[in-house]
Amino acid sequence: METMDIPAGRPATEEQARAIQDELRTRTILGEPGPPPGTGHVTGVDVAYDDERDVVAAAAVVLDAATLEVVAERTAVGRISFPYVPGLLAFREIPTVLAALDALPCPPGLVVCDGYGLAHPRRFGLASHLGVLTGLPTIGVAKNPFTFSYDDPGPRRGAWTPLLAGDEEVGRALRTRAAVKPVFVSVGHRVSLDNACAHTLALTPAYRLPETTRRADALCRRALREATTRQGG
DNA sequence: GCGACAG
DNA sequence: ATCTTGTCGC
């Protein structure tokens, strides 16, 4: 992956973190469609924590978008740099995620985040933040609606409804499995909402959550277990 | 002021 | 996110 040219700056306070979000938000690109689903690479990133031991492990798993087979995977381990604060998740996850992405031996293509992008109190969630820092196309696929509202989509796979912040559409509740709770898709950087949903459906041939997320989740948990297991556990 | 609140 | 046993079902 290429080097980032934007100062990330680890905030010391929540106030500083919000100020960084407000500044970086102006660099978000929302006018591009993004890569077509089913082509190139699609990469899942996820993070696992051991707060007790102050250890965090991130994973990046690159899939072939056409076959969903694993092309490459890397992990990174570090210390926890920020507490979990709703709306400031990126500051907790991104340092280690960047390290895992940087270690990849091939271009990540589209990056799928476990969380939100535009659907965020200041319209700058984890996926937006990661996209701006790396320049890569990113989307967010979350398991919960956070503070946003939505009407339940129809029962068919592919059905969706707007995810709303008041009257503003910040994402979609998308049904990826028939009659199963929807996922919550929002754009990060350089991808349209239509395309983000198409990618999400392409990544969910068998389960509610994208294969990228499932692979990255399993891998970062394993990395965390191995990191803590050979220390003091 | 109180509760809710991505992971 | 993480703490945690069994259990229903394909």
User: Model confidence over A12-71: pLDDT tens digits?
Assistant: 999 999 999 999 999 999 999 999 999 999 999 999 999 999 999 999 999 999 999 999
pLDDT at site A2: 44
Distance A39 CA to C8 C1' (A): 39
User: Mean pLDDT in runs of 10 for chain A (233 residues)?
Assistant: 56 95 97 97 97 96 98 97 95 97 98 98 98 98 95 95 96 95 97 98 96 97 90 56
* CATH number 2.102.10.10 is the correct assignment for the domain at A37-229: no
The number of beta carbons lying within 10 Å of the beta carbon of residue A10 is 12
C3 C1': nearest CA residue: A50
pLDDT at site A3: 43
Where are the alpha helices (H) located in chain A, listed in sequence order? Answer: 14-25, 89-102, 126-134, 193-202, 211-229
pLDDT at site A10: 86
Distance A128 CA to C9 C1' (A): 39
